[in-house]
Amino acid sequence: MSMLRFVPYVVHQVTRHRVRSLLTAGGIAIAMFLFTAVQAMQQGVRVATQATANDTTLVVYRKDRFCPATSQLPQDYQARIARIDGVRSVMPMKVVVSNCRTSLDVVTFRGVPKDIFIADRGEKLKLLAGSLNDWKRRTDAALLGETLAGRRGLVPGMTFDAAGITAYVAGIIRSDNLQDQNVAYTALEFVQLAGRDELGIVTQFAVKVDDASQLGSVSEAIDEQFRTAQEPTATFSEKAFVGRVADDIIELVAFARWLGLGCLVAVLTLIANAIVLSVQSRIAEHAVLQTLGFTSRLVALLIIAEGVLLALLGGALGAVAAVALVKVGGFALSVEGQSIPIVAGPGLLLTGLAVCGGLGVLAGLLPAWQASRREIAACFRAV
């Protein structure tokens, strides 16, 4: 027989004990909410730190410095770096953050030469609102990443204060580079003066190389160039730099995997408990079904289907809530001017539902096997 014919029966069995089913589904939803949130953090770490064949950006930082406030490099390093073989472009950058420690709500200003920024990043940025001409024209204008603007409720034409800087919102941008989603790009001189630093001092350089295979050789050449300088450098690929700076966050997210595994164990236990109670209360009913011609295998499949339905109901509620919260909140773990986004999308939702379905099957196997092994006469005697 097709299992689709028995869907109404399975739904009836799940809903006949409403309070028990609701409590079980609620517990599953909470556990899956936490599991999905942990997976979203892990996905963000992978996106932010795993290099790909298309990565061609290096970050030149002050050696033995971490927080942007302590990394000070002469801006005239730009010309010397540009002369190194394999370097396509060099963009000096002054970084000022509202909080150098790990936080969910950090505003990062990146002061850049506007002409170099447009030439280097212009094609990869999508202007969602505002005017690029306003940004070019006004000294105090900022281009805000979509996530930062949404989190702070900022729109073009507004001004905002953070990290001791007052900036005018000229536009909202979207970028494939997740680091761009949580920053405010302004004129280099504006951030230098607002940060009370002398002109000619920057935090870092963003260096584009001709080919990803040259990342290693170019980074070594840059550091060798300034090895004996008063301000030596440490050069990393962009994603390696994020991983180095956000090491504590990465370790925290790695530890959170145990929380995710604990959530899965909780889901399995909740489903198994609900199915065992349901099967124990319907021993005679199963005997009647077998008397009517239901095979032991079909009875077992119906019990497993109950577990899957219960798991999917609770799991869908928890996973959807987690994905929606991450999407609306636009959360990112920021440290020292670098962001680890919390990434959640349809793929993560489908993964959560698949995990729930698998746990539903697993939780129903033992009670289904026990029910299918009982003889009809024994079932009636057990009543």
pLDDT for residue 10 is more than 70: yes
Please tell me the least confidently modeled range out of 8-17, 101-110, 284-293.
284-293
102 in Cβ contact with 152 (< 8 Å): no
* CA atoms of 352 and 360, how far apart (whole Å): 12
pTM for this one? 0.75
Please spell the DSSP secondary structure of 313-338, one letter per residue: HHHHHHHHHHHHHHHHHT-EEEETTE
62-97 pLDDT per residue, tens: 988 777 888 889 999 999 999 999 999 999 999 888
Which residues make Cβ contacts (< 8 Å) with residue 144, sequence separation at least 6? 154, 169, 171, 172, 173, 183, 184, 185
pLDDT for residue 40 is more than 60: yes
Please tell me the least confidently modeled range out of 21-30, 169-178, 282-291.
282-291
Strand pairing of 201-202 and 204-209? unpaired
Provide the pLDDT confidence category of residue 102 given band limits of 50, 70 and 90: low
296-348 pLDDT per residue, tens: 777 778 778 888 888 888 889 988 998 888 887 777 777 777 777 787 878 88
Please spell the DSSP secondary structure of 111-152, one letter per residue: EE-HHHHHHHHGGGEEEEEE-HHHHHH-TTEEEEEHHHHHHH
- Tell me the mean pLDDT in the region 127-134: 90
Mean pLDDT of the chain: 82
Eight-class DSSP state of 179: G
